[in-house]
Structure 1
Amino acid sequence: MLRLDDVTKRFRTGMLGGGSVTAVSDVSFEVAPGEVVSLIGESGSGKSTIGRMILGLQPVTSGTITFDGSHVRPGKEFYRHVQGIFQDPFSSFNPVFKADRVFAMIKDVYHPSTPGPEWARRVEAALHDVRLNPGQVLGKYPHQLSGGQLQRLLIARALLLEIRLLVADEITSMLDASTRIDVLNLLAELKARGLGVLYITHDLSLGTYLAERTVVLRRGSVVEMGPTGQVFGGPLHPYTRELLAAVPRLHQPWDDAVPVDACAYHVHGGTGVLAEAGPGHHVACARLGTCP
């Protein structure tokens, strides 16, 4: 369904744009229908940049992003099938309009011929699917609703389209713990219906909750990817081990950070190449191509 091949993104820097910085370098992975893939890395690793390129919000410098075999072309038909939800739900709503205006906009663009009563029935059904009471959220302004309610409204909006892929960028980071689990359980239900999800997060515990596969990003490059159980159960790259060591554990001290200085997975003297360490489990050079 979704495929990234050697995707690179460079941003111009300097007053005259004479310099550049590479935010994403030669990233390749896929998301299949009904699959959740976690894209994990620290802040500044390029996760959100990848999400924005998939959604067509930023151009790709080199490489290709395809959806159903066709190059991503932002527009009405593309967004009928691919939607994104972002970290701050309040930023997705105009504070001067009631929150349910997002449904009116979907109707105007994608379903203009649908009769009003039929559309109201579809909206209520979508709200029930995301476990919201229509009477408690429709007609409210964004500031009258919680972050969790607004995130669910955005998911309900996506359900009113023929959505097949959801790019979920840190969608639980501003929610409390109980609401966070509710949203993740909702994504699990949607996955069971065949929805593909790219779940972008820096939280390893949440990344393991849903994802069949995990992609670990460091400084814009993939350093390890594979089945989630293998990546977290038997991490091979020092950076992955360092991330896991940094996760707080009750009743025991944190492990010392593992220095990223090994080079067991440098492949054929090249850069950006992942070695297959097991079935579907790939790992990169630990020095990200800086080996002599």
Structure 2
Amino acid sequence: MAMGKVLISGRHLTKVYGTGNRKKAAVDDVSFDFHEGEIISIVGESGSGKTTLAKMIMGLLKESGGAIEYDGKPRQMKRYRERKAYWKDIQAIFQDPFSSFNVFHRVEKLLVDCIKLQGLKLNKDEEYAKMKEACSFVNLKFEELYNKYPFELSGGQMQRLMIARIFMLHPKVLIADEPTSMVDACSRSTILDMLLKLRDENRMTIVFITHDVGLAYYVSDTICIMEHGRIVEAGRAEEVIHHAEHPYTKQLINDVPKIHSPWVLD
């Protein structure tokens, strides 16, 4: 798919924790341009800064330095209505789907809240039809979920519900932070296919946060490699994987298990 205009960009982003001699930069002078309809993977090991960067893009963490632009304009997050407008366009799916749900609320409230966030005025039948359509998109039957609480569902069902939520909201940008790491292999493939389908149908920009360079190569147009808070290598997925230049990128690639590697026995 051809990429569109630059939708969201960062310039010299920094996030520093601590003070004085205990200062530590979780994100250190990071710049990027993400395009409409592009799939980007930010790859790195634990502690590389990738999740901190994702939270800054989401507006959940305030940057210590630098700036983010959205749709060609400086991002405004000071007022509630500005944050609400931004979060209407930029949504996230996190690693642990259970942490995204209020355990005291039934499943349908999550979906009804999506309708309210869009400002839609629907009657009960129209709400039901919209929720049923969203569940159908992720291969769930709304009738079987109705009146249930999150703890009554499996991790795979919960993660698919999060995608149903994205289907209803139609955001322009989706931050997917390790969205398949807590589900089985079958569910992992299904969830990835659903996300790619959303991108194809809605020209949604998807930013994957992952430690899995193999997954990044499979799904991405662009790969950014992060180490110690910095993007040390970035480019088209094929170029980064097949012509890696930075030693850390080469290490990540070499750590991927090879199917045809000979067994090494002690």
TM-score, normalised to structure 1, is 0.82
- Structure 2 distance, partners of 1:127, 1:31, is 29
* Structure 1 partner of 2:16: 10
* Structure 1 partner of 2:126: 118
- Structure 2 distance, partners of 1:147, 1:77, is 30
Alignment of 1:34 with 2:40, yes or no, is no
* Identity in percent: 37
* Structure 2 partner of 1:205: 214
Alignment of 1:224 with 2:233, yes or no, is yes
Alignment of 1:82 with 2:90, yes or no, is yes
- Structure 1 distance, partners of 2:262, 2:55, is 37
One-letter amino acid of the counterpart of residue 108, structure 1? K
- Structure 1 distance, partners of 2:151, 2:190, is 21
Instruction: State whether residues 56 and 72 of structure 1, in contact with CA within 8 Å, keep that contact through their aligned partners in structure 2.
Output: no
1:22-76 alpha-carbon deviations (Å, 9 max, x no partner): 0001111122111100000000000000110111100011111111022333421
- Select 2:63's aligned residue among 60, 64, 67: 60
Larger relative contact order (C-alpha < 8 A, sep ≥ 6)?
A: 2
Q: Relative to structure 2, which stretch is displaced further, 73-82 or 170-179?
A: 73-82
Q: What secondary structure is seen at the aligned counterpart in 2 of 1:43?
A: coil
Instruction: State whether residues 80 and 161 of structure 1, in contact with CA within 8 Å, keep that contact through their aligned partners in structure 2.
Output: yes
Structure 1: unaligned runs, 5 residues or longer: 256-292
Q: CA RMSD in A?
A: 1.8
TM-score, normalised to structure 2, is 0.89
Alignment of 1:186 with 2:189, yes or no, is no
One-letter amino acid of the counterpart of residue 177, structure 1? A
Alignment of 1:242 with 2:238, yes or no, is no
Q: What secondary structure is seen at the aligned counterpart in 2 of 1:160?
A: helix
* Structure 2 partner of 1:267: none
* Structure 2 partner of 1:73: 76
The structural deviation recorded for 1:156 is: 1.4
One-letter amino acid of the counterpart of residue 186, structure 1? M
How many pairs align?
252
Q: What secondary structure is seen at the aligned counterpart in 2 of 1:249?
A: coil
Q: Relative to structure 2, which stretch is displaced further, 68-77 or 162-171?
A: 68-77
1:96-147 alpha-carbon deviations (Å, 9 max, x no partner): 2212221122233433522221122111111122222212223221112111
- Structure 1 distance, partners of 2:108, 2:74, is 32
Structure 2: unaligned runs, 5 residues or longer: 1-6, 78-82
Q: What secondary structure is seen at the aligned counterpart in 2 of 1:52?
A: helix
One-letter amino acid of the counterpart of residue 37, structure 1? I
The structural deviation recorded for 1:18 is: 6.8
- Select 1:104's aligned residue among 89, 112, 115: 112
Instruction: State whether residues 82 and 166 of structure 1, in contact with CA within 8 Å, keep that contact through their aligned partners in structure 2.
Output: yes
Structure 1 segments (4+ residues) deviating >4 Å: none
